[in-house]
Amino acid sequence: MPSVPTHRAAFGARVRELRTARGWSQEEFAHRADLDRTYVSGVERGVRNPTLDVINHLAKALGVDVMEFFSR
């Protein structure tokens, strides 16, 4: 099985960090972002490569600017 690219793993970890800071389960977050829970799981694990549209959905659901995913 191929390894997860570092940039996708870092992005997924940031999404997970923002989600858990709100106390949301993956299921609740997926519902708010209008995405499937398994897709959100894949994003957080770095196995999915989300499009800009999906990144925008994630940001809106979390109530953050897209750049929040890329800054610490």
Total domains present in the chain? 1
Residue 1 lies in a domain: no
Residue 57 lies in a domain: yes
Which CATH number goes with the domain that contains 18? 1.10.260.40
Tens digit of pLDDT at every position of the chain (72 positions): 678 999 999 999 999 999 999 999 999 999 999 999 999 999 999 999 999 999 999 999 999 999 999 886
**Tokens found for residue 24:** 């949301």
Residue environment code for 10-26, b if the CB has 16+ CB neighbours within 10 A, otherwise e: ebbebbbebbeeeebeb
List C-alpha distances in Å: 38 to 13, 31, 65, 68, 71: 16, 11, 23, 23, 25
